[in-house]
């Protein structure tokens, strides 16, 4: 089947109490690892491309890699989505260039300006059969070249969501309830420690999610910054020459709970980076004489596949929903 929009996927996910995984893609091995997992589990899928990914790999290469995955995985619906579109021009370029979904992220702008930019993107996108994700609230962390400090970040104000959605016409809404981008989501002093001495982050603000859902019944909500930073991969990185002290993410049970509520799209990128980097570091540590990229990218691709399969089954609950 050709690339699809997320409209039908989100409706089924909302009604079925699960979420669609939105995984960031930057090269062929990442595309293959993710799509092979989704294909084997008959899971609907969103592949997303950031501004940084387009700068790194080139728009056309990424679109063609995703089109290849569509051919290789005829049993599952796949969306090609722009992640964190910074402005109208970037969204337009992706809409004109084959994407079926775009995010306009004007969340750092004042409310009225966020509405105006989002509305402009929605009008152009809808005229071209493309859906739009927007954002209200500001997540801490780094996206492309934008760094939002913990002090600048703020939760979504539920009292703003109805006006925002009705004035912009956006198709889904990313909200801030305590997730953040990157592998260092919380400082050690924001966390407590469990009996094993591991950092335990503060819980997500489910009260905000519930209030938003009450105000927007049936409307798909998106969570960014939803990597869980698996400690096995942090350990693998650190035991093989890396240095990632106190990296900590969002506990998977909390994401599963969000997926059963109104959250229909969960964004995961850092976990894939960790799996790939940990695997490659281990490979080089164990095989200092090897230099064929196929030899170290093969286990890295397999690690991504295994991780995505785990997310699909245990976190998103979207296996066998295609
Ligand atoms: O939220 C941002 C994603 O993790 C993409 O990261 O901008 O480094 O490609 P990137
Ligand atoms: P993570 O950094 O938690 O993987 O978040 C990714 C994301 O939100 C992409 O938009
Ligand atoms: Zn994001």
Model confidence pLDDT, tens digit, residues 87-104: 999 999 999 999 999 999
> Active-site residue 83, yes or no?
yes
Query: Residue of the nearest CA to atom 4 in ligand 1?
Result: 269
Share above pLDDT 90 across residues of the chain, in percent, rounded to a whole number: 92
Q: Is the CB of residue 57 below 6 angstroms from any atom belonging to ligand 1?
A: no
* Buried/exposed code over 205-232 (b: 16+ C-beta within 10 A; e: otherwise): beebbebbbeebeebbbbbbbbbbbbee
Domain formed by 7-316, architecture:
Alpha-Beta Barrel (3.20)
DSSP letter for each residue of 215-237: HSTT--EEE-S-----HHHHHHH
Cα separation, 297 vs 68, whole angstroms:
19
Is 189 annotated to bind a ligand? Reply is no
pLDDT band at 141 (very low <50, low <70, confident <90, very high): confident
Q: Residues 246-259: what's their mean pLDDT? A: 96
Mean pLDDT for 171-178 is: 98
Whether the Cβ atoms of residue 130 and residue 100 lie closer than 8 Å to each other: yes
pLDDT given at position 152: 72
Separation CA 38–CA 305 (nearest Å): 9
| Domain boundaries of the chain, sorted by first residue | 7-316
Determine the atom of ligand 2 nearest the C-alpha atom of 270.
4
Q: For residues 309 and 38, what is the distance between their CA atoms, to the nearest angstrom?
A: 7
User: What is the structure's pLDDT at 138?
Assistant: 86
Mean pLDDT computed over every residue of the chain: 96
48 CB neighbour count, 10 Å cutoff: 25
Query: Looking at per-residue confidence, does 60 or 143 come out higher?
Result: 60
Q: How far apart are CA 70 and CA 52, in angstroms?
A: 23
- How far away, in angstroms, is 170 Cα from ligand 2 center? 21
* pLDDT, position 153: 81
Q: How confident is the model at residue 265 (pLDDT cuts 50, 70, 90)?
A: very high
Is 59 labelled as part of a ligand binding site? Answer: no
- Do the annotations mark residue 105 as ligand-binding? yes
pLDDT-derived band at 256, boundaries 50, 70, 90: very high
Average pLDDT over residues 126-134: 98
Distance between Cα 291 and ligand 2 center (Å): 31
């Amino acid at each position: 089947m050709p690339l699809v929009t997320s409209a039908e996927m989100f409706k089924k996910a909302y009604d079925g109490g699960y979420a669609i995984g939105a995984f960031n893609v930057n090269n062929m091995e990442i595309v293959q690892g993710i799509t092979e997992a989704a294909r084997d589990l008959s899971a609907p899928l969103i592949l997303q491309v950031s501004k940084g990914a387009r700068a790194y790999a080139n728009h056309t290469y990424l679109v063609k890699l995703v089109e290849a995955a569509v051919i290789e995985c005829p049993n599952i619906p796949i969306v090609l989505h722009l992640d964190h579109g910074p402005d109208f021009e970037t969204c337009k370029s992706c809409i004109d260039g084959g994407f079926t979904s775009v995010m306009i992220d004007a969340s750092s702008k004042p409310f009225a300006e966020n509405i105006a930019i989002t509305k402009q993107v929605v009008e152009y996108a809808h005229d071209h059969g493309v859906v739009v994700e927007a954002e209200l609230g500001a997540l801490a962390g780094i996206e492309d070249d934008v760094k939002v400090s913990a002090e600048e970040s703020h939760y979504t104000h539920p009292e703003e969501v109805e006006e925002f959605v009705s004035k912009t016409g956006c198709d889904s809404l990313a909200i801030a309830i305590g997730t953040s981008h990157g592998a260092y989501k919380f400082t050690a002093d924001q966390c407590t420690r469990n009996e094993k001495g591991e950092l335990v982050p503060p819980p997500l603000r489910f009260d905000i999610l519930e209030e938003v859902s009450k105000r927007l019944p049936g409307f798909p909500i998106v969570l960014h910054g939803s990597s869980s930073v698996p400690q096995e991969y942090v350990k693998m990185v650190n035991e093989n020459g890396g240095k990632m002290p106190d990296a900590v993410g969002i506990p998977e049970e909390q994401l599963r709970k969000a997926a059963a509520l109104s959250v229909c799209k969960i964004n995961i990128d850092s976990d894939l980076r960790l799996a790939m980097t940990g695997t490659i570091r281990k490979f080089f540590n164990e095989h200092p004489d090897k230099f064929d990229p196929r030899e170290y990218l093969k286990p890295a691709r397999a690690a991504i596949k295994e991780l995505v399969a785990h997310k699909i089954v245990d976190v998103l609950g979207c296996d066998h929903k295609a």
